[in-house]
Amino acid sequence: MLVVRPISMSDYDALHTCAVESGHGFTSLPVNEELLTNRITHSEYSFAKQDVTSPTDEGYLMVGVDTDTGEVAGTTGIEGAIGWDVPFYSYHISTVVHSSPKLNVNNVVKLLTFGNNYTGCSEICTLFLRPEFRRGLNGRLMSKCRFLMMAEHPERFSKTIFAEMRGVSDAEGNSPFWKWLQEHFFSIDFTLADYLTGIGKKGFIADLMPKLPIYINLLSKEAQEVIGQVHENTRPALKLLENEGFTCRNYVDIFDAGPTVECDLRNIQAVRDSFRAQVAIAEHSSSQDYLVANTSFENFRAVAAKAAYDPASGKVLLTVEAAQALNVAEGDMVRMLAQ
């Protein structure tokens, strides 16, 4: 069984392994000891922080752990509110019309406009599941456990929830979109730019990025083709978020032009459809799969397990194994989502 819990410093080696295996373009997991250590420390501080009534600088990083072997299967996270301490940049795709009635000419063109429109929003991020664990409900658990947390503790998150999806790049980390930007505005390759962003050194973006809108039809054909497209490995994650109600509002990443998707917290399907139930611990024969999370924040736990829920009594039968993984006892409350 996989159980999702807050990360601790003892998980550093496993997090480093995830950073290495995630490859190029995974900005939130740089292969950098200081940054990964700081990320863990900040997460420990954020989970321990009391009386949070609105999101500020909190960052919540979690790991999925195999209860049989103790091996870390992957990582998943949420940033409470981005852009306050370190600027968060994105491109917005807009449309303009160049028209001349006298010449009977109407040209519709699209622009990329540089901005900080997601400042203050909560970001779901750092979702990575190691290849050997990509089976069953593990992927859904790692992604949707964040929505169970949001449903139970909405005061810690913003009204708008968004996610940056990894854009198109090859095995060596070369991005067609960045190649065009590099040729005209930068003198560093994509992997270095991506790495500098991951370790928080974003000053070069404001210094070198074109401030005026960019006409998309002036970009190379290769760059135009990947705007708003996702990396092959990211398609399952995008599909899952789209099924939850996330959609692209014409914002894309400034490096690889991958799409940014967003949804109002109240409209996320997992938030709407999840419900509370009272725990009863017993063996059962139910075949219904659920994602189940305890109601604690500092000691958050989530699992995918078979459970028997009785709507009339509001009680759910959990096995001893599931209850132990969730750190819950008879009579405690949990939040559930049917699968």
Q: Find out whether 128 and 26 touch, Cβ atoms under 8 Å.
A: yes
- Please give the pLDDT value at position 170: 84
Pick from 198, 200, 179: nearest CA to 188: 179
126/120 Cα distance (integer angstroms) = 18
pLDDT value for 210: 77
Structure tokens at 331: 């009579």
Q: What letter would DSSP give residue 266?
A: G
Structure tokens at 288: 């219904």
Fold of 2-90+115-270: Aminopeptidase (3.40.630)
d(CA 76, CA 62): 5
Nearest to 336, CA basis, from 205, 147, 132 = 147
Kindly give the confidence (pLDDT) of every residue in the chain, 339 residues in length, as a single tens digit, with 9 standing for 90 and above: 999 999 999 999 999 999 999 876 576 788 889 889 999 999 999 999 999 999 999 999 999 999 999 999 999 999 999 988 888 889 999 999 988 888 888 889 999 998 999 999 999 999 999 999 999 999 999 999 999 999 999 999 999 999 999 899 887 778 899 888 877 776 666 666 666 665 555 556 666 677 789 999 999 999 999 999 999 888 988 999 999 999 999 999 988 899 999 999 999 999 999 999 999 999 998 999 999 999 999 999 999 999 999 999 999 999 999 999 999 999 999 999 999
- CATH topology (fold) of 274-338: Barwin-like endoglucanases (2.40.40)
Active site residue 231: yes
310 — phi, psi (to 5°)? -110, 105
Q: What's the confidence (pLDDT) of residue 202?
A: 54
CB 339 within 8 A of CB 304: yes
Question: Where in the chain are the domains?
Answer: 2-90+115-270, 274-338
Per-residue confidence (pLDDT) for residue 174, from 0 to 100: 81
Predicted confidence at residue 32, as pLDDT, reads 83
Please check whether the two domains, 2-90+115-270 and 274-338, share a CATH topology: no
pLDDT at 208: 67
User: How far apart (Å, rounded) are the C-alpha atoms in residues 339 and 286?
Assistant: 13
pLDDT of amino acid 187: 62
Instruction: Note the residue count of the chain.
Output: 339
Measured distance CA(124)–CA(126) in Å, rounded = 7
Q: Can you tell me which residue has the tokens 């940014």?
A: 260
> In the structure encoding, which two tokens stand for residue 111, read together?
């622009």
- Distance between CA atoms of residues 162 and 274, nearest Å: 20
**Best CA proximity match to 89, nearest among 113, 110, 59:** 113
* pLDDT of res. 72: 97
Query: How far, in Å, CA of 226 to CA of 239, rounded?
Result: 18
In this prediction, residue 181 carries a pLDDT of 80
* Euclidean distance between CA atoms 126 and 29, whole angstroms: 7
